[in-house]
Amino acid sequence: MNNTNRALNRSFLALAGVVLAGTGILVAAAGLNADVRAGWTTIAGTALTAWQRLRETAPSPEPLGSWWAMAVPAVLLLGAIITIFWLSRQGGGRTRTAARQDDAELGDTAVDVSYLAAAVEAALEGNRAVVGSSLTAWRRRGSKDTARTSLRLTLQARRGASPREVADVAEELVSAIDALLGHRNDVLVRIGTGTRTKLARALRAG
Amino acid sequence: MNQGRMQKRMLRRETHSSRTGLSVATAVLLLAGFLWLGAECVLALMGRGPLVASPDAMATAIKDLPQAVQPAAMTAAGTAAAVLGAVLLVAAVKGGRRGRRAMHSERLALVVDDEAIAAAVSRQVRLAANLAPEQVSTTVGRRHARVSVRPTSGRPLDREALTQAAAREVASCRLARNLAADVSIAVEGAVGR
């Protein structure tokens, strides 16, 4: 779980898909149909001539030739910057601080997520349904309200363990965390299977 | 955001793909394209030699493409590009469900892997039929949990009882949307052990 803007991801993919598919269909049509081929050459030729004429409208000192010619790399650079910004927006939001309370008189208190993770680990010691756990915290983008930190608890179930049994363990753990922190965070629990599940012995029948 | 809405949002995000991988890959290719074209433009403006081809040469090449390339090759390349575009479009529109589902809980946003459900169902069926672990396997699909059982030779199994055992385990999970249990018993048996 993170702050990736998923709607934007999908819009971007849709846009890229439409452009790519459109270009592909045009090229394929040019391959199949002589009229399209002729049209292609004519339209491209016209566009090139128009561009030459446009370049002459704003001459600049050599070696540039035209201010319009400068505009092309500028637009490309802008595109590159937007793309980099886009890439940097993927993911994010993970934080080490599970909870925080600021008090003018008593000072600020922060609870590190590793403290809670260790507590969960200790509580699960010897549990027969769960073989491993991990706990992470993340904060919504732009949210300053630290009480709104959300927790994500992953429990690796032993092979064959009943998911409801593991879920009950999770409910208990989370109410203990609530009691420890003194307020309720949003908690996401995932009951999974992983490498630990594969390596650990399966739940015995008896 | 209130508790219920946040919970729904977390569940949705956990059970569906974010499409990050695909969109990052596309964005990186796009970025490389932008940077290369930008570099070619700048080099051409400074009057230096091109990296691969100058912008003018590229424009002319695009204009003359239908004459320079065989129609069959153009059709093939165009079709390939169109298919790739269609793949991106499908990825953008389709749900992207992961192999996980929501379980009912008051306090938590609770998600369980399909694999964990399958393992639990297999175990209950195995206990009900008194079989070895490798004789039972379960696949969890969108709406069904399909259990396939290989009976021990000479010991017929009660399909009804096994279906009930599987259904009981699935029901005990209290999934947000229940799964139908579906047990099939193989005709050929395994050698007893």
Has this prediction a pTM greater than 0.80? no
Check CB contact of A54 with chain B, cutoff 8 Å.
no
Residue A101's DSSP bridge partners are A109
Of A80, A157, A175, the CB nearest to B35: A80
All structural domains of chain A with their residue ranges: 6-88, 94-199
- Model pLDDT for residues A20-61, shown as the tens digit of each residue: 999 999 999 988 888 888 888 888 889 988 888 888 877 777
CB B127 within 8 A of CB B119: no
Kindly identify which residue of chain A lies nearest to residue B25, measuring between CA atoms: A87
Is residue A80 within 8 A of residue B34, CB to CB? The reply is: yes
Answer whether A27 sits within 8 Å of B111, measured CB to CB. Answer: no
pLDDT given for residue A206 in this prediction: 43
Look at residue A144 and tell me whether its pLDDT is greater than 70: no
Provide the token pair at B185.
Answer: 């018993």
The pLDDT of residue A146 is 54
- Band (pLDDT 50/70/90 cuts) for residue A147 is low
Chain A positions touching B72 (Cβ under 8 A) are 31
What pLDDT was estimated at residue B139? 92
Chain B interface, mutation test: which of A33, A190, A201, most B Cβ atoms within 10 Å? A190
- Going by DSSP bridges, is the β-strand pair B136-140/B144-149 parallel, antiparallel, or unpaired? antiparallel
Nearest by CB to residue B74, choosing from A18, A31, A83, is A31
Phi-psi region of B96 (alpha: psi -120 to 50; beta: other; left: phi over 0): left
In the prediction, which pLDDT does A141 show? 64
Residue B34 has a pLDDT of: 92
Chain B residue with the nearest C-alpha to that of A79: B34
Distance from CA of B191 to the nearest CA of A (A): 20
Rounded CA gap, A87 and B177, in Å?
Answer: 36
Contacts of A167 in chain B (CB under 8 A): 103, 105, 110, 112, 173
pLDDT tens digits along A88-100? 888 777 888 888 8
Contact status of A171 with chain B (Cβ, < 8 Å): yes
Residue B102, amino acid: A
- All structural domains of chain B with their residue ranges: 3-93, 100-185
Write out chain B's pLDDT in tens, 193 residues.
Answer: 466 788 888 888 888 888 888 889 999 999 999 999 999 988 888 888 888 888 888 888 888 888 888 888 989 999 999 999 999 999 998 888 888 999 988 888 999 999 999 999 999 999 998 888 888 999 998 889 999 999 888 888 889 999 999 999 999 988 888 889 989 998 887 776 5
Beta bridge partners of B101: B112
Position A170 confidence tier, pLDDT thresholds 50, 70, 90: very high
Q: What gap in Å lies between CA B72 and CA A20, rounded to an integer?
A: 19
- Which of B11, B19, B75 is facing A9, going by the closest CB pair? B19
Chain B contacts of A11, Cβ < 8 Å?
92
- Chains A–B, number of C-beta pairs less than 8 Å apart: 249
**Which of 3.50.50.60, 3.30.70.1350, 3.40.1390.10, 3.20.20.70 is the CATH number of A94-199?**
3.30.70.1350
- Give the residue from chain B lying closest to A187, CA to CA: B108
On the question of pLDDT at A205 being above 60, the answer is no
Q: Which two tokens stand for residue B38?
A: 């930008």
For A188, the enclosing helix (H) or strand (E) is strand A187-192
Choose the closest CB to B45 out of A69, A84, A164: A69
Please give the pLDDT value at position B165: 92
Q: Indicate which of B2, B16, B18, B69 best probes the interface with A, i.e. most A CBs within 10 Å of its own CB.
A: B18
What is the DSSP track for B22-85?
HHHHHHHHHHHHHHHHHHHHHHHHTTPPPSS--HHHHHHHHHTHHHHS-HHHHHHHHHHHHHHH
Q: What is the DSSP letter of A158?
A: P
